[in-house]
Amino acid sequence: MHPLFTPFRAGDIALANRVVMAPLTRNRALPGQLPGPLQVEYYRQRASAGLIVTEASQISPEGQGYLDTPGIHNDAQVAGWRRVTEAVHAAGGRIVIQLWHVGRISHVSLQPGGQSPVSSTARAAATKTFTKKGFEPVSAPRALRSDELPRIVADYRHAARQAMAAGFDGVEVHGANGYLLEQFLRDSVNDRSDAYGGPIANRARLMVEAVQAVCEEIGAARTGLRLSPVTPANDAGQDSDPQALYGHVVERLAPLKLAYLHLIEGATGGDRNVAPFDYAALRAVYKRAHPAGAWMVNNGYDAAMARAVVERGEADLVAFGRPFIANPDLVRRLRENAPWNALRRETLYGGDAAGYTDYPALPDTVPA
């Protein structure tokens, strides 16, 4: 059997194979930011993945940035997610939840009391978000005070604890795609002059503190982190020295012995060569401090690329995003080199079962 389809252990999480379902925002949560029966079926259908990373889920009401995305900060949300984890586990799968604070990628209509979103900066992002009115420009943020940042860290810790109560196998901290933690990381966004701005160590401080808090709460071996060193997503301009910045982050966090690092290579969902970056060098930094740490790659992988990168030992896990939307049995299709269902883009965000739980799996037997 090809190593892509062999069992693997990411920290304390035992996986049946090395194919990962990447987090995918679908905007189908029930009122109250609750996962419902649709999510139970959606994730159950995809439980053959070695690991499922759920859609990003806000760690607090303030962390929400899009309409009808789920949360993991109150007991009702925990109860909803527990039905999801039970279904996935009953089908033999493993599942972690992605912990999310969008920062400035939000709209006042989505914020508690209609307040301004919060960020590292008071500058608005040149992008849009999904509201009751459709896609609207994001609202101008308020820069967080330094005395507020312990509260943000505490929200990550609390969300991780809630995730364990919901039966997840672990969590993935979302440090990518221009959301809050990356808004602090990059000097293209972070214009602060306090202990969380300026030099690399200061800009990385919030991410390091948040990940450390999660690890203290649930164990590093059940904690993953997603990074996107050069993606321009959500108006996250390139940092002046991304290799040094992300190298520092990995040097600080690898000694914690995380379950995995999840790397988006290039522009999220787009050009893999959008800007220069040496991912192999970053991987070497990680593996020196944590040789058993899983290295997960993502962005535009097809079957041949996934097989090759694992064969060469350049990745331990390969994450697929949109292919998993249209192909609930993607692992089987990869293993058998079977064709993939076409993606229906008009049903990606919001709606009902159409384009969500109605994609067909391969038949059990193929006619001669």
Q: Which listed residue (179, 246, 279, 356) is catalytic?
A: 179
Q: Please enumerate in sequence order all residues whose Cβ is within 8 A of that of 302, keeping only pairs 6 or more positions apart, or say none.
A: none
Residue 106's alpha-carbon distances to 20, 66, 134, 179, 330, in angstroms, are 28, 7, 13, 10, 32
Instruction: Give domain status of residue 323, yes or no.
Output: yes
Q: Residue 275: is it exposed, middle or buried by C-beta count within 10 angstroms (0-12/13-18/19+)?
A: middle
d(CA 55, CA 280): 27
Q: How does DSSP assign 229-275, residue by residue?
A: TT--GGG-PPPS-HHHHHHHHHHHHGGG--SEEEEE-SSTTS-TTSS
pLDDT (tens digit, 0 to 9) for every residue of the chain, 368 residues total?
899 999 999 999 999 999 999 999 999 999 999 999 999 999 999 999 999 999 999 999 999 999 999 999 999 999 999 999 999 999 999 999 999 999 999 999 999 999 999 999 999 999 999 999 999 999 999 999 999 999 999 999 999 999 999 999 999 999 999 999 999 999 999 999 999 999 999 999 999 999 999 999 999 999 999 999 999 999 999 999 999 999 999 999 999 999 999 999 999 999 999 999 999 999 999 999 999 999 999 999 999 999 999 999 999 999 999 999 999 999 999 999 999 999 999 999 999 999 999 999 999 854 44
Angle formed at CA 50 by CA 258 and CA 290, multiple of 5 degrees: 20
179 an active-site residue?
yes
Instruction: Give domain status of residue 367, yes or no.
Output: no
Per the structure, the count of domains in the chain is 1
CATH number for the domain spanning 15: value is 3.20.20.70
Q: Please enumerate in sequence order all residues whose Cβ is within 8 A of that of 345, keeping only pairs 6 or more positions apart, or say none.
A: none
Contact status, residue 184 vs residue 239, Cβ threshold 8 Å? no
Instruction: Give domain status of residue 368, yes or no.
Output: no
Contact status, residue 67 vs residue 110, Cβ threshold 8 Å? yes
**pLDDT reported for residue 364:** 86
Q: Which two tokens stand for residue 282?
A: 């970053």
Instruction: Give domain status of residue 366, yes or no.
Output: no
d(CA 311, CA 300): 18
Instruction: Give domain status of residue 365, yes or no.
Output: no
* Secondary structure class of 201 (helix, strand, coil): helix
Q: Which residue has the tokens 């943020």?
A: 141
Q: Count the residues in the chain.
A: 368
Cβ neighbours, 10 Å, residue 287: 16
d(CA 196, CA 22): 30
Contact status, residue 12 vs residue 51, Cβ threshold 8 Å? no
Instruction: Give domain status of residue 364, yes or no.
Output: no
Contact status, residue 249 vs residue 289, Cβ threshold 8 Å? no
Cβ neighbours, 10 Å, residue 11: 21
Side-chain half-sphere exposure of 115, counting CA atoms within 13 A: 14
Q: Phi and psi (nearest 5°) for 226?
A: -105, 130
Residue 127 DSSP one-character state:
-
**pLDDT reported for residue 365:** 58
Instruction: Give domain status of residue 110, yes or no.
Output: yes
Instruction: Give domain status of residue 40, yes or no.
Output: yes
**pLDDT reported for residue 367:** 43
**Domain coverage including residue 278:** 3-347
**pLDDT reported for residue 282:** 98
